[in-house]
Structure 1
C-alpha cells in the first residue's frame, strides 16, 4: 500500500521553547520533529497529528498530562518535493507532498518513548539550535516561527 502524499509536522515544545528533536532510524544523522502521513484519505489532520505523536514519542494527547488544547493547528501547509530516496513509498509518479504544520506544548518533564523502528535518539534543544539541527527546511522554518506563532496565538 502506498503512502498518502499528505502529512503532518508536529513541533513538540515546552513553555520555554525547548524543542524535541528525534533522530531517524533509517538515517540517524537526520533529525526532525514528529512527522507522518495520513493513514487514509479522509483521516482528519488533527487525528493524524495525535496518532503520529503517540506512535513516535509515546505522548498521548487528550489525557490529563497533555490536553487537546495544547495541540495547535497552525492552518499552514507546505508543498515540497519528496526526497528521491523515499519516493518508492508513494504511488508511481507522486513526487510532491503536502505537509500541515502543528505544534504541541508539553510539560518539561514528560516521558518520551521512541518507536525503535522509526527513531533511535532524541534530545531537547533551544528552538534555534533545534532548527539548525533539522535536515528538512520546512521543519527548520516551523521551529524558527514557533515563538512568533505562540505570541500571535496569545495576542
Structure 2
C-alpha cells in the first residue's frame, strides 16, 4: 500500500524551461516528477532524489550541491478516486511536499517506460498550464515567482 505522503519535484534549466513527463497510465496527463515515500520515516529530500532518478534517470547526487531545493511548501489534496486502490482502505487524502531541481542545460532524460511515455522541456509559464494537476502548475509558478 502506498503511503499518503509524497514529493513533487519541478525540474528546470537555467533558461526557465521546465521538464514535464506524460503518464503511461493516462494519455495527455503531463506532470512534474512525483512519488510517495517508501517508508514513513524516509527523508523527504531522499525521496525526491530517488523519484527523480527512477522517473527520469537524472542522478541528483552527481549534480552540484544545492541543485535540489526544498521549497518549504506542502499541500493536502484529495486522491483521485480511480487511484485510491493503491492506498489503505479509507485513505482519501495525500500530503505533497514541493521541491525544485536545477539541472544543466544538456541534461539527458531517460524515462521509466512503465510510468511515463514522453517528456518535454517547456517555458515555465507554458508548463504550468499543461500540467493536469492545478497544484503542479502552482508549484511551477511559485518556483519562478521566488527567483
Superposition TM-score, scaled by structure 2 size: 0.98
Q: Secondary structure at the match of 1:62?
A: helix
CA distance in 2, matches of 1:146, 1:97: 21
1:37-116 equivalences in 2 (<5 Å):
37-63=36-62, 66-116=63-113
Structure-2 change in CA distance of 1:4 and 1:68 (3 Å): farther
Give the deviation of 1:146 after TM superposition.
1.7
Count of residue pairs the alignment pairs up: 147
Aligned residue number for residue 128 of structure 2: 131
Give the deviation of 1:46 after TM superposition.
0.4
Deviation beyond 6 Å, 4+ runs, structure 1: none
CA distance in 1, matches of 2:47, 2:115: 16
CA distance in 2, matches of 1:28, 1:55: 20
Uncovered stretches (5+) of structure 2, i.e. residues with no partner: none
Root mean square deviation, CA, Å: 0.7
Give the deviation of 1:75 after TM superposition.
0.8
Give the deviation of 1:83 after TM superposition.
0.5
Superposition TM-score, scaled by structure 1 size: 0.93
Aligned residue number for residue 9 of structure 2: 10
Structure-2 change in CA distance of 1:87 and 1:68 (3 Å): farther
The 8 Å contact of residues 7 and 38 in structure 1, kept in 2 or not, is answered as yes
